[in-house]
Amino acid sequence: MARLAPVLHAGDLPLAELCSARLDGEVVRIDDAFSPVDVRDGPAARAAAASHGWSKRLIAEQRTAAWIWGALPDPPARHQLCTTTGARARPAIPLRCVVREVAIDTDEFAFVGALRVTRPVRTAVDLARFSARFAEAEARVIRSLLALDGSGLDECRAALDRRRNLPAKKLAWERLLEAARADDPDYPELTR
């Protein structure tokens, strides 16, 4: 008997068959893909589900990376991707995606399957820098990301300080402190 792939897309089986299998409880939906119920829903399955058809030059970042790492329960409505400034090619932008060009070093991302994903500290710092609004939900995501690899404010400060003239650096640091303070009621107040 043939075994199903851990992540199935509409190209693997007809969409109607995948939807029917979902109704029968044989597969579960992961982003725009499906996975057999006996496959563990982890970063590898989420990365494979999301990255179907993406260029190998793209890197999952911000809310997409947070979802892949497991810090968010659901994928974002529009995936957030980046590419290096030296990529020298403009990959086709997949549907439901926003792509930006960034300065990123190889130690700031990891491979999850074949997909490059910003590491939890870089993801947390980027979320603190670029979130349009910053409330308890965003602070909780940042705390979850930092807990994944045992990072803390020292690693976040080092990530912010590794580049000169980083936009929104002060705002990001205040948000990171706010996230840490929300997790620890005895955390000292921000001093200026």
Q: How confident is the model at residue 156 (pLDDT cuts 50, 70, 90)?
A: very high
pLDDT tens for 160-181 read 999 888 899 999 999 999 998 8
CB contact at 8 A, 131 and 138: yes
Residue 33 lies in a domain: no
Residue 45 lies in a domain: no
Q: How confident is the model at residue 85 (pLDDT cuts 50, 70, 90)?
A: confident
Residue 42 lies in a domain: no
Q: How confident is the model at residue 186 (pLDDT cuts 50, 70, 90)?
A: low
pLDDT at position 190 over 50: no
Extract the tokens encoding 104: 């990123």
Residue 32 lies in a domain: no
User: Average pLDDT, whole number, for the chain?
Assistant: 88
Q: How confident is the model at residue 43 (pLDDT cuts 50, 70, 90)?
A: very high
Q: How confident is the model at residue 92 (pLDDT cuts 50, 70, 90)?
A: low
Mean pLDDT along residues 43-70: 93
Mean pLDDT along residues 62-67: 97
Residue 170 lies in a domain: yes
pLDDT at position 86 over 90: no
pLDDT at position 91 over 70: no
pLDDT at position 79 over 50: yes
Extract the tokens encoding 105: 């070093």
Domain residue limits at 153: 57-183
pLDDT of residue 192: 38
**Strand partners for 85:** none
Residue 94 lies in a domain: yes
Residue 138 lies in a domain: yes
DSSP labels for 106-149? GGGEEEETTEEEE-HHHHHHHHHHH-SS--HHHHHHHHHHHHHT
Q: Extract the runs of DSSP E, i.e. beta strands, from the chain.
A: 27-30, 33-36, 59-60, 79-84, 97-102, 109-112, 115-118
pLDDT at position 2 over 90: no
pLDDT of residue 88: 64
Residue 114 lies in a domain: yes
Q: Which residues contact 155 (CB under 8 A, 6 or more apart)?
A: 121, 146
Q: How confident is the model at residue 35 (pLDDT cuts 50, 70, 90)?
A: very high
pLDDT at position 185 over 70: no
The label of the residue with tokens 């991302």 reads 109
pLDDT of residue 146: 94
Counting the structural domains of the chain, the total is: 1
